[in-house]
Amino acid sequence: MGTIGIGYGNTIDAATLSGSGWHASYPVTKLQNRDLADYAQTTGTTATIIIDHGAAKTMRVFGLVGHTATAGTETVTVTAGTTSEGTDVHNGSSLSCWPFAPLDDDRDGGHFGIWVVLPADISARYAKIVVSGSATMRFGRLFVGRLFLPTHNPAYGRIADDWQETASTADRMRGGAAQFWRRGRPLRSAPFEYSALPPSEASLWSEIVRRHDVTGELAWVRHTHDRAVQQQRGFLGTMRKLSGLENPFFGHQSAAIAIDEVGGAP
């Protein structure tokens, strides 16, 4: 089985969110708004997100993006059960929010998300996420979804950890002097190709494209079990354009895909 996949089917907007430790003016339900600048904020150093799907849902990819949990000591715990705050389906341990060490300790929560990818699919009505730190924290968006994980990773040489066209500019004046305008954060892009999808995987990918179009959220899962790689290179985004299926050889199909990061975190 491969280690590079795509999180899809974010369940959060249709779920009921509750939990303790949230500011009345910036409640946990702000996590259901796709505008990363419209954030939820904790009242203290620990907050709980209780997710009620109403019925059992399949989950594997959990992500918090656009956050200020940036001291480096924060932890995140994911559990799931058949009852609210139950752990009978998944009893996860406390994990560091910062498995990756950015250059010069520049822990920018608007760039580096907090990701937990479970070893396998789980199915539960309830999930709970507990985030603990040393100060109050803000979070822009929550992703909880399934994982498209083909048997084979994207084709070697057909995957890039790339960047979108920057909004920043460097203008050279007639006299030779330069003026610089930095506008926002650099946003990532992931162009890649799955070159050997068997019929069942190709069928699922076609359905993901149909359901998500270029507006639905996808999580770029750069590595399913190396959390440092996932934090540095994974992101929440959307498809740049619809991805069709080609037929390179009998019994398999291929798909060229490009996912662009969603920005807007303060």
> What residue ranges define each of the domains in the chain, with the CATH number in brackets?
5-148 (2.60.120.260), 162-167+184-261 (no CATH)
Name the residue among 83, 116, 79 with its Cα closest to residue 98. 116
| Span 38-53, average pLDDT | 99
- Can you give the pTM of this predicted structure? 0.94
> Residue 50: what pLDDT?
99
49 pLDDT above the threshold of 90: yes
Count of Cβ atoms closer than 10 Å to residue 124 Cβ: 23
What is the phi-psi region of residue 179: left when phi exceeds 0, alpha when psi lies from -120 to 50, beta otherwise?
beta
For residues 137 and 161, which has the higher predicted lDDT (pLDDT)?
Answer: 137
Q: What pairing do the DSSP bridges indicate for beta strands 162-163 and 141-148?
A: unpaired
Mapped onto helix, strand or coil, the DSSP state of residue 85 is: coil
Distance CA 216, CA 221 (A): 16
CB 252 within 8 A of CB 197: yes
Backbone angles phi, psi at 13, to 5 degrees: -65, -30
For residues 161 and 235, which has the higher predicted lDDT (pLDDT)?
Answer: 235
Strands (E), the chain: 5-8, 16-18, 40-41, 46-65, 75-81, 90-91, 95-96, 114-132, 138-139, 141-148, 162-163, 169-172, 178-181, 188-197, 218-221, 235-239, 245-249, 252-261
Distance CA 84, CA 19 (A): 10
Of 24-38, 145-159, 219-233, which gets the smallest average pLDDT? Answer: 145-159
Backbone angles phi, psi at 93, to 5 degrees: -95, 165
Six token digits for residue 97: 């929010």
Quick: pLDDT tens for 4-44.
999 999 999 999 999 999 999 999 999 999 999 999 999 99
